[in-house]
Each structure stands twice: as C-alpha cells, then as structure tokens.
Chains A and B, each alone.
Chain A
C-alpha cells in the first residue's frame, strides 16, 4: 500500500507562485460600484443623527432602514447587528455604507458625513459578564479542605491579530435573480445563512462562492457574515455589482481578534501532588458576544491541558466591553488557557521546590484517564515517547541545567499539550450535520463536492489525495473546485481542525462506496452524512462527558537568548513533536507546524496589540509586529504516527495544534534566561525590563 503521507506538490502551488491566482481584490464586474463604510468615532453612545451630504448621481447610502429581514447577523450567538440602529458600541463599528463608482469621490463624501452621537462612558474592564459557564469534576471543596498547601497565580494574555495577507473582502452581484456574493471566507454556508436571513430570501435566491483565500486563521470564520450581510442589503437596494474590500487599517480596527484574557488558577496540594484545582478564565469579548461563548468553552475545556487533576472546578466569563468584538482565531480559546496552565504547573513545581519537568510528568494524562469533563481518553497517548524525543533532539535536560547559571542570558522551555479535534461535544452531530458528495461523470472524472475552504492549509490537495487514493485514480482525475453553495452540500465550516478528520473522513467513505459500486462510463453520485462515533457522550448543559471525539498531541521546545542591554529576545531554536494521527501530506503538515509555531511563539513574546480608551494603538503592519523570517529560526519538527480509527487513514486535527503550545514554551525559556517569573504575555523587552528591575 502507498504511504498517503508522502508529499506531492500542492495543486495550487504553481498558480500562486506565478501570481496567476485571482483573489477577491482582482475580481471586477461590469457596472461595478465600490462600497465604503461609515464607522463610529466613539466607543459608546447613542446615535442622534447622521447627516449625509448631497449624493451625486450614481451614489447611494445604505443603512439599517434598508434591511429587509432581521437586523442581527446570523451566527452562533445572535447579538451583532448588521448596522446599529441607535446604540453604538465600539470605535470603528459600521454605521452605514456609501456606494459609488469612484473611490476618491466616495472617500470625500464619507468625510462629509456628519455623525452626531451622544457619547457616554464606555465599559473597558472585566466588569460586565455576558456569558458565564461552569463545570466541575469530583469534589474540589474537599480537596482544598484536605490540602497541605494551596498555590495560586494569575496570568494575562494580550490581543492577537490574525494578520492574514489578504484583508477581508467581497464582491456581490445579482445574477438570475439570485443574490450572489463571492468572498475571502472560511465558511460559505455561514455566509449563506446570514445573507438569507438578513435579506429575508429563500435558500435558492442566495448564492455564496469562495474566492481563493489569502490567509484566514479564524479571522474569516464569523466576521465575513457581518460584512456580507451589509453588502447584500446594499445589493438589494441598488441592484448593481458591488465591491467591498477593507483596507489594512480598516480591517485591523474593525474585525475580530484573539480575546485578551485573565486566568486565575488555584491548586490544592497534598503530599507534593496537585489533588484539586479551581480555575477562572475571563475573556474580553468586545462589544458583542458572537462566537465568544464557544471560544470560552474551548478554553475552559483545556483547563487541565495534558494533566489529570482529580477534583476540578472551572468557571469562565465572557466580559463585554466597548471594543471591537473578538472572535475566532486558530486555537480558539485554547492558547490562553494552555499558556496559563503550563506556566502554572511550572511555577507550582518551583513553589514546592520540585523539579518542574518531573513534577509535570508526574501529573501527566495517560490513556484511560478521565478528561477534565469526565469523558475518557480512549485512544493511545504517546506523550512519554514524544517528550523523550523532543528532549533528545533539543538536548533539553543538559541545556536546562546549563542555563540555570544567572550570568547566562539563555533559556529553554518545553510545553506539552493537546488539542480537541472538531467541534466541541456533539456539535458535529447536532449543529453541523456535515454532508459531502462525490460525483463522477460519464467520462469517469470524479468531482469532490464539499464546502471546505483552502486558505493555505491545503485541503485542495489533501482532500483530492484522499479521494484519488481510495479510488486508485491519478490525482488529475479528481476535481475539487472552489465551493459554490449552489453546487456543493454543506460539509460544515472550515474551522476547528475538522477538515481533514471530519470532511476528509466522509469523503473517504463516499469514495469507498463509489469504488464498490463503480460503473465504467456512467454518471454516479454518492452522498455521505456525518455519524458521531457511538462512544461520544456529551451533556452540553453541564459540560460533562466527551468534549471531543479525538485529541491531537504536541510537544514544543523553544530556546532563547535575551540581550542584557536591550532585553530583546532572540529565539534561537524551535523543536517539536506532533501526534495528529496520520499526516495526509507530510510537507503540508510540516508547513502548518512552521506557521503555527511562528504564530504561537510570537503570541508569547512578540505580537503586541494594546488599546487606550477603547482605541487600538497598533493598526497597521508597521506597528503590529509579527515575526519575519529573520525572527524565526530553522525548526526541527517531527511527526509521530498514531492512527485514529475514525479518521481517514488515521488522520486527526492538525491546523490549530501547532499554535497552542508556542507561548508557554517561549515564556518558560524567557523566564529561565532572565531568572524571573513570567506571568503576562506577550513577554516583551519592556515587560522584561520591569521584571528585572522590580523583581
């Protein structure tokens, strides 16, 4: 049998390298106008009046009064208006669109709009909880009552901006009386549903097409629904093709980011072991809840990361603030929590005078253990072997010892972690209900019909590889076009590390059926629907049971050197070992690893986004610092096969796994280098200076 992991060239590599790919900003339609957004200049207030200048022929304004359907964007939690009618809740909130053929003219018209808002005091702290979640396991009260020591620490994390190469954008037009939008998006059917509801139209009258996506990282999960509904309202009013592309600064101030967080962990220690733990994670949701509850939930489910703690009590809140709403970003709540718990375990060991590595290993999860929510880790866990491998390739133990010398400004840190694959709990079964089709025509060319989006992570290649391999066809005979909601079924959103495992799994089953019923020279079609593995039991209300059908695992080792004059952090080496079941294409997975690690490590030490009175301070790529090739060292990444019985060829999730462990690994390395405890990230040179001078 062929090894599916053996890499092939990405099917879209050539056209992208050659610059032939037409992204959304390259698309033009005849008689097209541009849309520009009027935005709130204040963080909190009530609209008194908006006075427009006289609009020339061919120009139009579109606002809340033009919405035919419901003025709430359809998403997991619905509190986000298409356009606010009275209350404005954050700086940059879209108030209305201006449309017209000439951008410079539009810009000057936009400048001439008079916005009269009665401003009030914005909420900018963690005081207004919009969502509270809680779960528990065992009897944590008793654990704390019996404890001979209690350890508590608080951690904060900052914003993170997705910094996709291509800003958000759509082109919309009416064709055959169908409202058609094409955009840089992750979830065609999310956009489809949102537009349909906002326009009060039928499923058939709304069509969503995916344009090639120049990076997304979660930033194009729910936000495009907001933009698309606005565009659709304008489309219905002016009935001309419209192009709406955000400029970079506009994108950065007005689209979703990773939630800043504050996490407090308290542990009951008995005989040198943690017996119980209470945690509270608060995340800053911004002005609307949107996806934040689900982000919070994924964070809380990672409360004990890859450790088994018998008695547990976990609380979480989404705090509402008068700032830009936060949302999906690769990792989805897990990076905040995994950072906190990894640092906590490390610091707790130090408090107890134990070796952090051994202390952490003594608490590590094993196959058969209960999860934080009382589900079961059913599948083999290879962490022991992975940690040994990571320690070996990085020479971790020797370096860890050598860098303890306080005259050496070097440090090495190690994190280990899991990531739950797919939607939380029974989400795949009850919410997503994924459907896929594999079709062949009379010439025996095979077509994949799914709504999965290739945003750089490779499904255009990997999904074709799976189907081609099952059918034993050359990959050229398997076609996978950009999703079009008029042609493909809803295979679910391209999120939650689910595409290879869930969509790929369904496609493998569909392809197998097609193979078994294959009739040469005849058109055939096979459909498959998601069926939850029998063992999954989840009570969403109490957050009890199996939160995920499967888990991927990882180990990151990061080595740094800190400049003693400037406190600058030089990331010297990154080593990793991952278990994501089975790589469908090894090079694509290693590419995910390089990118995810860069994003995860930079989250820990480099990427700063801050705000003052509700206004973001870093609003362009000059001021918002992401790592360049100069900042990221060569990486040494390894994959370990651990096939998952329900995934295609054993594949689990990989997209987010590679990000979630970067921050604690680099933070541990930094704290060793400077001999101080890091609690807040990003651990910038400015922060290190304060730590060094003030302890």
Chain B
C-alpha cells in the first residue's frame, strides 16, 4: 500500500515496518517509472509520499551551517537570502521554473545521479546529510551517501531529513554547467570551484566535477597539493592542476555527448576556473 503520512514520525514508522520508495517532488522517480497514458503509474515498490510534510519544508540559518529540510523546493531555495550564491547559480540551471517549484535537493541526492547539478555543489560545499529513522538520526558527508549511479548508502528504514551546508566564505566561486541547451537539459559535464585567498596566497582550493565518473569527482589531496601557492604560481601551474585530475575524469559516450568532449571540456573548465581567480 502507498502511504501519505502526516508527520515525520509517522513516515519513519512506515519505513521501519515496510519497504517504500520515498517521493518528495517526484520529478525523477516519475520518469523512472514511466507507464502509459490513462493508466496508473507502474511504481515497482510501495510509495511513501512525503511532499506534504510541512515540518520538513524549511531553510534555517544556524551559526555554523544552513539547514535545508527535505521537501524544500528549489524555487524556495532561490528566494532565501542565506542559501549560498553558488548553489543558487546551479539551481537556476536545473530544468525549468515549473519543475523547480516541486523538485527538491533531497530528491536529487536520493536519485544519486553523477550529473545532478544540485548535488555537484553539495560536494563542493562539504554538505552533510541528516538521515533519519525511527531509531534516531545520523549525519553523513555527501560523498559517503552517494556511491555510484543510482546507488547510495541510505538504509531502507531511513530517509533524508535535512541537508546541512557549512557556512564558509570564499574569495571566489565558479559554476559552469554544460548542457545541450540553456534549460531543461541534463549535464554533459559540469564544474564547480571555490577558492579562498589571503594576501595573494591560496589558502583553500576546491574543485567538484560532475558527469565524468560514477559519482561527482572531488579530491581533497589534489586540492591540498596546491594550497599555499601564490595566485601567480597557481596560474602558472594551471596545466598541472588539470593533469592531476586526468585519472579521475573518466567520462562515457552516450546519447547526450561523447567521452572526448566531456574530458576536453572538463580540462578547459578547470583552466577557466583557475584563470579567473
């Protein structure tokens, strides 16, 4: 039986007692379960519809982080002053306005696509995901939640309750989504970058690349190896930065683009990010 719980506790109780797919906005799961016109949606599992759990519809600003409830729509995130600008830039390129009124970041995580534009920025921002079950909650870094295309470590009795974005300030951020058109397009590749500079010295460098591996690519050891350089040194070594990611950028040929293009453009975007610092 499908369920439409009226509270988070009720939802968690269902998850404890049965097996469900959780539907927030439904914009991915409906496509995965395409059926026929004039016939019911052929869901493969029982559905837990959480879209009217208002207690999970919030954006809260705390000292250390911004908390985003699981059923918060992209549209409302765009309107909130404390949602980081780089996340807003990515959201503006997700689908179209109509879809952004129902789609959620939590759903984007649960869908676990390496080309998801919202998730890319979560990697960049060191987001942590609150997974709730009837027995309690745990806080997991985004890269430990998503393990591969469509694969994640969320347990059957758990659901995403909240996304936490640590509050950090950067001197410079970069976001570029490469889709086949300007709206309503799935990324061929995408890159988000952030840097913190102090007295012309690179204190922190972050790079996240989407759609070029089984998960979003983020490598802290590569990032660390360029810390402490002056900006001029970093720019002079831009080819080295790109080369460091060579083995991690392993895209595929598919109906949307090809591996050669994805790889070349990823290198170009790393370079573009570094050069604009």
A68 to B261, CA, bound (A): 54
CB pair B181–A631 under 8 Å, yes or no, is yes
Q: Which residue of B lies closest to A169 (CB)?
A: B37
CB pair A565–B269 under 8 Å, yes or no, is yes
CB pair B260–A630 under 8 Å, yes or no, is no
Residues of chain B within 8 A (CB-CB) of A693 are 264
Among listed A260-268, A512-520, A617-625, A638-646, interface-contacting one: A617-625
A568 to B40, CA, bound (A): 40
Residues of chain B within 8 A (CB-CB) of A623 are 255-256
A686 partner, pick from B183, B261, B269, beta carbons under 8 A: B261
A510 to B180, CA, bound (A): 50
Residues of chain A within 8 A (CB-CB) of B38 are 25, 34, 103
Known contacts A565-B272, A567-B265, A617-B255; is-contact A627 B181 (Cβ 8 Å): yes
A245 to B264, CA, bound (A): 43
Q: Which of A242-297 contact B (CB under 8 A)?
A: 245, 247
CB pair A247–B39 under 8 Å, yes or no, is no
Q: Which residue of A lies closest to B39 (CB)?
A: A103
- Contact digits for B239-277, partner A, Cβ 8 Å, 1 yes 0 no: 000000000000000011110110011001101100000
Q: Which of A553-597 contact B (CB under 8 A)?
A: 565-568
Known contacts A622-B186, A625-B185, A628-B183; is-contact A568 B36 (Cβ 8 Å): no
Known contacts A566-B265, A686-B257, A689-B264; is-contact A625 B37 (Cβ 8 Å): no
Residues of chain B within 8 A (CB-CB) of A685 are 178, 261, 265
A260 to B35, CA, bound (A): 31
CB pair B42–A104 under 8 Å, yes or no, is yes
Q: Whole-angstrom distance from the CB of B257 to the nearest CB of chain A? A: 6
CB pair B39–A104 under 8 Å, yes or no, is yes
Residues of chain A within 8 A (CB-CB) of B272 are 565
Residues of chain A within 8 A (CB-CB) of B260 are 686, 689
Q: Whole-angstrom distance from the CB of A695 to the nearest CB of chain B? A: 16
Known contacts A686-B258, A689-B260; is-contact A628 B178 (Cβ 8 Å): no
Q: Which residue of B lies closest to A609 (CB)?
A: B255
Most B C-beta atoms less than 10 A away, residue of A25, A565, A618: A565
CB pair B183–A568 under 8 Å, yes or no, is no
Chain B CB within 8 A of A386 CB: no
Known contacts A617-B255, A625-B185, A686-B257; is-contact A247 B268 (Cβ 8 Å): no
Tell me what chain B mostly uses at the interface: helix, strand, loop, or mixed.
loop
Known contacts A566-B176, A689-B261; is-contact A628 B268 (Cβ 8 Å): no
CB pair B257–A625 under 8 Å, yes or no, is no
- Contact digits for B2-28, partner A, Cβ 8 Å, 1 yes 0 no: 000000000000000000000000000
Chain B CB within 8 A of A402 CB: no
Known contacts A247-B37, A685-B261; is-contact A566 B181 (Cβ 8 Å): no
Interface size class, chain A: 20 to 34
A103 to B42, CA, bound (A): 11
A104 to B35, CA, bound (A): 9
- Contact digits for A601-636, partner B, Cβ 8 Å, 1 yes 0 no: 000001010100000011000110101111100000
CB pair B255–A618 under 8 Å, yes or no, is yes
Chain A CB within 8 A of B96 CB: yes
Q: Whole-angstrom distance from the CB of A1 to the nearest CB of chain B? A: 45
Chain B CB within 8 A of A107 CB: yes
A102 to B265, CA, bound (A): 49
Known contacts A103-B39, A686-B257; is-contact A625 B180 (Cβ 8 Å): yes
Q: Whole-angstrom distance from the CB of B170 to the nearest CB of chain A? A: 21
Known contacts A630-B181, A630-B182, A689-B260; is-contact A25 B37 (Cβ 8 Å): yes
Q: Which of B163-216 contact A (CB under 8 A)?
A: 176, 178, 180-186
Q: Which of A168-209 contact B (CB under 8 A)?
A: none
Q: Which residue of A lies closest to B255 (CB)?
A: A617
Residues of chain B within 8 A (CB-CB) of A610 are 255
Q: Which residue of A lies closest to B265 (CB)?
A: A566
- Contact digits for A79-118, partner B, Cβ 8 Å, 1 yes 0 no: 0000000000000000000000011100100000000000
Interface size on B, residues (CB 8 A): 31
CB pair A566–B185 under 8 Å, yes or no, is no
CB pair A606–B258 under 8 Å, yes or no, is no
Known contacts A247-B37, A623-B255, A685-B261; is-contact A565 B183 (Cβ 8 Å): no
CB pair B255–A107 under 8 Å, yes or no, is no
CB pair B264–A247 under 8 Å, yes or no, is no
Q: Whole-angstrom distance from the CB of B235 to the nearest CB of chain A? A: 16
Q: Which residue of B lies closest to A167 (CB)?
A: B37
Residues of chain A within 8 A (CB-CB) of B268 are 565-566
A107 partner, pick from B36, B181, B184, B186, beta carbons under 8 A: B36
Residues of chain A within 8 A (CB-CB) of B271 are 565
Q: Which of A525-571 contact B (CB under 8 A)?
A: 565-568
CB pair B36–A247 under 8 Å, yes or no, is yes
A631 to B178, CA, bound (A): 14
Q: Which of A660-674 contact B (CB under 8 A)?
A: none
CB pair B265–A606 under 8 Å, yes or no, is no
A566 to B261, CA, bound (A): 9
CB pair A245–B37 under 8 Å, yes or no, is yes
A25 to B178, CA, bound (A): 36
Known contacts A245-B37, A625-B180, A631-B181; is-contact A566 B269 (Cβ 8 Å): yes
Q: Which residue of A lies closest to B271 (CB)?
A: A565
Residues of chain A within 8 A (CB-CB) of B42 are 104
CB pair B37–A628 under 8 Å, yes or no, is no
Q: Whole-angstrom distance from the CB of B34 to the nearest CB of chain A? A: 8
Q: Whole-angstrom distance from the CB of B101 to the nearest CB of chain A? A: 17
Q: Whole-angstrom distance from the CB of B38 to the nearest CB of chain A? A: 6
A612 to B255, CA, bound (A): 10
CB pair B36–A103 under 8 Å, yes or no, is yes
CB pair A606–B36 under 8 Å, yes or no, is no
Residues of chain A within 8 A (CB-CB) of B181 are 606, 625, 627-628, 630-631
Most B C-beta atoms less than 10 A away, residue of A245, A618, A622: A622
A671 to B137, CA, bound (A): 57
CB pair A104–B180 under 8 Å, yes or no, is no
CB pair B257–A630 under 8 Å, yes or no, is no
A627 to B184, CA, bound (A): 10
CB pair B261–A568 under 8 Å, yes or no, is no
A689 to B272, CA, bound (A): 16
Q: Whole-angstrom distance from the CB of A632 to the nearest CB of chain B? A: 10
A339 to B185, CA, bound (A): 27
Q: Whole-angstrom distance from the CB of B158 to the nearest CB of chain A? A: 29
A104 partner, pick from B31, B37, B40, beta carbons under 8 A: B40
| B interface residues (Cβ-Cβ under 8 A, vs A) | 31, 34-40, 42, 96, 176, 178, 180-186, 255-258, 260-261, 264-265, 268-269, 271-272
14 additional A-B residue pairs with CB within 8 Å, beyond A25-B37, A104-B35, A623-B256: A104-B42, A245-B37, A247-B34, A565-B265, A565-B269, A565-B272, A566-B265, A606-B180, A606-B181, A625-B185, A629-B183, A631-B183, A686-B258, A689-B264
Cβ-closest 9 pairs across A and B: A630-B182, A103-B39, A617-B255, A565-B268, A625-B180, A630-B183, A686-B261, A628-B183, A565-B272
| A interface residues (Cβ-Cβ under 8 A, vs B) | 25, 34, 102-104, 107, 245, 247, 565-568, 606, 608, 610, 617-618, 622-623, 625, 627-631, 685-686, 689, 693
Q: List 12 A-B contacts (CB under 8 A).
A: A104-B35, A247-B34, A247-B37, A566-B178, A567-B261, A606-B180, A608-B180, A625-B180, A625-B185, A685-B261, A685-B265, A689-B264
